[in-house]
Amino acid sequence: MDGTQVKRKFWDRIRDTYRISVLDDENLEEVGSYNLSLLSFYVLLSVAALLFAILVISFIVFTPVKRLIPGYGDISENRKFIELSKKVDALENEVEAYDVYTNGLRNMLTGGIHSAKVDMIDSLDAMKSLHPELVGKKDMAETKRAKELDFLKFATPVFGKISANFQPDIQHFGVDILAPKGTPIKAIMDGVVVSAELSVSTGNCVYIQHSKNVVSVYKHNSALLVKSGDIVKTGQAIAIIGNTGELSTGPHLHFEMWYDGKYVNPQKYITF
């Protein structure tokens, strides 16, 4: 028997018609009969399987069931993914703020000179050792680079009476402003808080790094409203005026401005 005969017999066999009878179980009476070939049966079975597959796929695609299938669905709608994305964004902002914090603190303390000996800028001995060229010189705001500050806009940290002017000759690198008890102290520009802590000599102090390498300093506060690493806006309250620290003789704000690591006279740029 050759292959052609085998194929022909198979093709003839699936085309043969078979009769399917349905009988009553009690009296064996024929209820109905159906003529069906194997080919028709295979076609019918294939169509049924195809329709079932379409129904299953449609159920998955057009209902929330798809979210239960690993790797399927829009991942942006997944709550865990959204929460993780927010946490990543927050961490990126914290890292960026920390970079600004460390760079600003280094520039503020050393004027660009990297030194492991620096602990606190309010230490006069440290200031002398780090900036010997500044001691005894008058009003660094008169330098050509300091005049670039004229193009910046600053908010007033607190309105009040000036009790002590900027006098670098006696190592008074800022101005003292008297104001009523409980008066809020405000940031002069947008920036990042590089330090907000208690110093024995100058009490509760806040140091803020701003753009253009400007640093503002607020000393002797009774309370701090920000912490290191906080991002602050122009005019935002950062502390409450006070009388903390050994160098304070009464409630006031000692305010300093630094530009590129050098002190400048705040009264030339801010009206108190």
Q: Which residues, in sequence order, are CB contacts of 234 under 8 Å at separation 6+?
A: 155, 187, 188, 189, 190
Parent domain of 31: 3-68
Residues 52 and 128 in one domain: no
Region of 50 please: left (phi>0), alpha (psi -120 to 50) or beta.
alpha
- Our CA angle for 94, 97, 99, nearest 5°, is 110
Residue at 119 is within a domain: no
Q: How far apart are CA 76 and CA 81, in angstroms?
A: 7
243 and 131 co-located in one domain: yes
Note the pLDDT of residue 118: 35
Query: Could you read off the pLDDT of 154-178 as tens digits, one per residue?
Result: 999 999 999 999 998 888 999 999 9
DSSP code of 68? G
Instruction: Tell me the C-alpha distance between 115 and 106, whole Å.
Output: 8
Assess whether 151 and 241 both reside in one domain: yes
pTM for this structure?
A: 0.51
Confidence of residue 63 (pLDDT cuts 50, 70, 90): confident
Q: Based on the structure, what is the number of domains in the chain?
A: 2
What are 218-263's pLDDT values in tens digits?
Answer: 999 999 999 999 999 999 999 999 988 888 778 899 999 998 888 8
User: Within this chain, do residues 64 and 134 fall inside the same structural domain, yes or no?
Assistant: no
**Residue 191 pLDDT > 80, yes or no?**
yes
Does 108 reside within a domain? no
3-state secondary structure of 230: coil
